[in-house]
Amino acid sequence: MGDRISISFVNGDWKSPAFFSHWAGTSLLDAVEEYLNELREETDALEYPNSQPLDRLEPGTVMVDFIRWITHTPYAEMSTGTLHRNRITHNFYLGRDSEDGDNSDNGHVEIDLTDRNNEWMHYCHCGNPNCEAR
């Protein structure tokens, strides 16, 4: 039982570890899109863009910041209460790649950070028929 999915961020040859959710399903992609739109607004307004790894959209740093962000939003409660005692006790975990966890319901989705002028590109990595490009 669950609604499993995993995501990773990519930018050129760089790729983040995989972020897995046991319960969020494709609603995790809505969270990613909201996060990236907020990040884009913030980085577009910077006086000195590209001065920090997050500003350059380095995938590993984006993943760390996404995890920070998601725990401070209603998305943290996507499942039956991910946060207990102000800790992430279940639902979310990391793996080295898409094969290092369970994404059997919705597959693995890579988010291409190189496309900053249009919509963020989501595409399937695993070929799961339940996982569709957005």
Separation between Cα atoms, residue 134 and residue 124, nearest integer Å: 9
Segment 33-57 shows an average pLDDT of: 90
Does a structural domain hold residue 70?
yes
Separation between Cα atoms, residue 105 and residue 87, nearest integer Å: 25
Does a structural domain hold residue 134?
no
Does a structural domain hold residue 133?
no
Does a structural domain hold residue 86?
yes
Domains of the chain: total: 1
Residue 91 lies in domain: 5-124
Does a structural domain hold residue 118?
yes
Does a structural domain hold residue 130?
no
Confidence band of 68 (pLDDT split at 50, 70, 90): very high
64-69 contacts at long range (C-beta below 8 A, 24 or more positions apart): 65/39, 66/9, 66/19, 66/32, 66/35, 67/19, 67/92, 69/35, 69/38
Segment 67-96 shows an average pLDDT of: 77
Does a structural domain hold residue 85?
yes
Segment 28-54 shows an average pLDDT of: 90
Eight-state DSSP code of residue 16: P
Does a structural domain hold residue 42?
yes
**Residue 134: its pLDDT value, please?**
44
Computed over every residue of the chain, the mean pLDDT equals 83
